Amino acid sequence: MKRVHVRIHGQVQGVWFRGWTVDEASQRGLHGWVRNVHNGTVEAVFAGDDAKVDEMIQRCHEGPPAARVSKVDVEATEEPVDSGFYQAPSV
């Protein structure tokens, strides 16, 4: 199982990025969470099948139609995740 922490930069808040991420990750059977960060980014942890995680990372480079993604940072993580995928509170 692959597990990554992703930070998405650009115009990614107020454009339904978190809801879109929950839908996209759930469709791929991934576990983890997504949330807004006070600095204007969105961050997420994706855990699951290697190919599905990689596919989700690629989707984050596009985001929902109103988003304008400028950069996606990805790093491996050992952070534990619960079963399912959910929207976490903003930090």
Active site residues: 18, 36
Structure tokens at 85: 């995928």
Interatomic CA distance for residues 1 and 67, integer angstroms:
29
